[in-house]
Chains A and B, each alone.
Chain A
Amino acid sequence: MTYEIIGITVLWLFLYGYLIVASIDFGAGFFSYYAKKTKKDHIINQLISRYLSPVWEVTNVFFVFFFVGIVGFFPDTAFYYGTALLVPGSIAIILLAIRGSFYAFESYGSKQSNVYMFLYGATGLLIPASLSTALTLSEGGFITETNGEITMNYLKLFTSPYSWSVVFLAIVSVLYISATFLTFYASRANDTEALKLVRKYALFWGTPTIIAALTTFIALGQHNQRHYDRMLDLWWVFGLSMGFFMISLGLIYIGKYYGLAFISVMLQFFFAFFGYGASHLPYILDPYITIYENATHQSTGIALIIVFIAGLFLLVPSLILLMKLFLFNADYVKGKK
């Protein structure tokens, strides 16, 4: 394996990590707002805040890690995406900033206000929508380069069926991942009332998720034939993803093994995400950036990989400690300590 492949795999792994932990967070924001509107907030709010409070900063780091890493391994991404994403990128980080800081203000400072709950809910859907723009751009056709100047065609972006199907997929996936996690967490806490509610959410969001995945696939076929064909070559990966989706939905439906159901959701997205990523290669931005031609110097690339491995030795035990104390500590989840 070349260092370019290792580099992009590491980065993809971190983006996948962000996809899972951030989805739980973003979806939770929407569900708490929805629960408040339907006067059911007393049922799930404690559950949500007990999980989120200790981990929200860690969620953020997954994101920082990805974008620092991609500029490190593939510096040209800074040039193309940096110029093209000024507006959607800035909006996404402003929303993230509002969400993160308000979240901390509220949970360390005071009671919950209506404005806050609205922002918390709305940003939960708007952030995935704006961040998914980067994935849309990567398929090519929205950015043009003339004489070293990058311009982004916003009209084309906003009228493309592909870009809207990606946005839709991002939002429903967030809600599905979050609902299945909360179902698992509520069952650990033996909180039957919350469990009933979030299980309903999970069952509801399963179907649109899989429909959105299919429409996105079809829209991609019209937008980027090469990528579509490569995805068909990897059909078995997406088949596995589909299989794990059926398992997760089935388990939630029969109301048993919620932990296993959530692991199936994680595997469902793992295969879909890595299938998508693998078929995207060698392009990072079609047709301007490929992982081979635009990678950093070998010396920098190898140094980054060494640091990454050293970092894992530090992070994995720390993350396990964090999960043991908050996620898998029965007393904590139940609200005793």
Chain B
Amino acid sequence: MLFEDPVLASRFLTLMTLTFHIIYATIGVGVPLFIMIAHWIGIRKKDEHYIIMARRWSRGYMVTVAVGVVTGTIIGLQLSLLWPNFMEIAGQIIALPLFMETFAFFFEAIFLGIYAYTWDRFDDQRKHFLLLIPVAIGGGMSAFFITIVNSFMNTPTGFEMVNGALVHANPVAAMFNPAMPTKVSHVVATAYMTAAFLLASITAFKLLKGSRHVYYKKALYLTMKIGLIFSVASAIIGDFSGKLLAEYQPEKLAAAEWHFETEGEAPLLMYGFLDENQEVRYAIKVPYMLSILAHSNPTAEVIGLNEFEPEETPPLIVHYFFDSMVTIGMFLLVLSLIYWMGIRRHWAFVKSTFFRWLIVLSGPLAFLAMEFGWWLAEVGRQPWILRGIMTVEEAATSSDYVNVMIVLFALLYIVLGVGTVVVLRRIFKNNPIEVELKGNDSP
């Protein structure tokens, strides 16, 4: 059967679970911000459209949150089931952020339940709005703490290893590890960015399908504008991440850039592919750019892959992940910038069918970029589970049943994925905005 080796099987099952979970987790972190903003504008402008926007978004959000909660529970337990040796060591030190994450999650779960079931219980929408603040904060804090755990795995600090045992544990120092600031801010900014393009993409699709209601135009402008802000933020933080990699994980940066020889004035390679002799073909070379990305200095020396033991270098496939992520990110930034300027300056083409199709594309592309980014971060960390300390081989379970579990979980994710789409369609198809507004007008 597939994956006889429990290590490979555990890696594959973790990859599958996380790839599925982060779709929902990103929505879970990102969308509350938009519900909150729409609800707020609705109150401020006394514009019923925005209140209904918040309500419709939150209705769809509840469904995705449900899947996010259950897949999050799965990955939480899988950490111990599939990587028992890792959790035995790392549990002594990253338990603190993991524990805090459950508190943030608790906080969010309580207030989300209240928000969703109290639309008709407050006469004053401002009171109802207040319930959203803990939801958005809880979502953001969850991302914050769980990304701390991941950044600890990339740049472990706050302890010493003596003869294979962990001593002098300092959980607070472990939380504030070097990768933490850039990783956390990149994850949070891109979650908001992805949510923005997801919502914009749905709205653009409705406009293309012939809806003419002003509601959609308001929603599109709002989401694209916020999308632009977070695209710029993500790009800037992405640049900081490159500098961090150069300092703390040079092998990941070198693998992502196919940078083999240590040299100054290092060029950046874009696209291309590797032939069977591991030679780079058809890549676009941007002179000095890698030195600038790594050290903000066009002549600075960048460490190459040849400096590392072959068994300690990450797979070279991460270059494709890196290029795809950056390309999509730049495309989304330019797209939202043109749209925003176009609306302000009354350029007709931003309302054309072609441009709207590009916006429809932006949602799925944003999710793809996010997946590519995580694959880059995680595959680029191979062969380590705790960089420099523990390899994935030493960490995995010895149980023989992982391959059977892969099949079971794959079936589960298919059912959940299809279920989400079917249920979301059912919620919105028979209840378009025109109907909901009419229902609201009558007393």
Contacts and interface: CB of A to CB of B under 8 A. Distances in A.
A319 B110 contact: yes
Nearest to A298: B169
A257 interface: no
Contact of A79 (B62, B84, B416): B84
A58 B172 CA distance: 28
Interface residues of B, number: 74
Contacts of A65: 102, 106
Interface string B80-118: 111111011101110110111111011101111110111
Given A63-B73, A322-B113, A296 B423 contact: no
Interface in A65-82: 65, 67-69, 71-73, 75-82
A96 B70 contact: yes
Given A75-B87, A81-B80, A61 B409 contact: no
B73 A104 contact: no
Nearest to B107: A314
Interface residues of A, number: 66
B84 A78 contact: yes
Interface string A37-71: 00000000000000001110110110111011101
B209 to A, nearest CB: 21
Given A67-B80, A85-B81, A105-B63, A94 B408 contact: yes
B88 A72 contact: no
Contact of B423 (A76, A105, A308): A105
Given A75-B87, A78-B88, A93-B73, A105 B66 contact: yes
Most buried by B among A53, A58, A105, A304: A105
A17 B112 CA distance: 20
Most buried by B among A78, A83, A91, A110: A78
B172 A303 contact: yes
A24 B134 CA distance: 26
A190 interface: no
Contacts of B83: 82
Interface stretch (B322-330, B375-383, B399-407): B399-407
A299 interface: yes
Interface of B is mostly: helix
B80 A82 contact: yes
B80 A307 contact: no
Contacts of A93: 73-74, 77-78
A85 B89 CA distance: 19
Interface in A281-337: 296-297, 299-300, 303-304, 307-308, 311, 314-315, 318-319, 321-322, 325-326, 332, 337
A54 to B, nearest CB: 4
Contact of A68 (B62, B74, B76, B419): B76
Contacts of A321: 110, 114
B73 A55 contact: no
A81 B91 CA distance: 14
Contacts of B79: 71, 78
A303 B96 contact: yes
A54 B399 contact: no
B315 interface: no
27 contacts: A57-B66, A58-B109, A68-B98, A69-B102, A71-B79, A71-B91, A75-B87, A75-B92, A78-B79, A82-B80, A82-B82, A83-B84, A86-B405, A90-B409, A91-B408, A96-B73, A97-B70, A97-B73, A105-B423, A108-B59, A108-B423, A299-B169, A299-B171, A300-B93, A307-B103, A318-B106, A318-B134
**Closest A-B pairs by Cβ, 10 of them:** A72-B95, A104-B66, A82-B84, A78-B87, A75-B91, A109-B423, A57-B109, A54-B113, A297-B169, A82-B80
Interface of B: 59, 62-63, 65-67, 69-74, 76-85, 87-89, 91-93, 95-96, 98-103, 105-107, 109-114, 116-118, 120-121, 134, 166, 169-172, 397-399, 401-402, 404-405, 408-409, 412, 415-416, 419-420, 423-424, 426-427
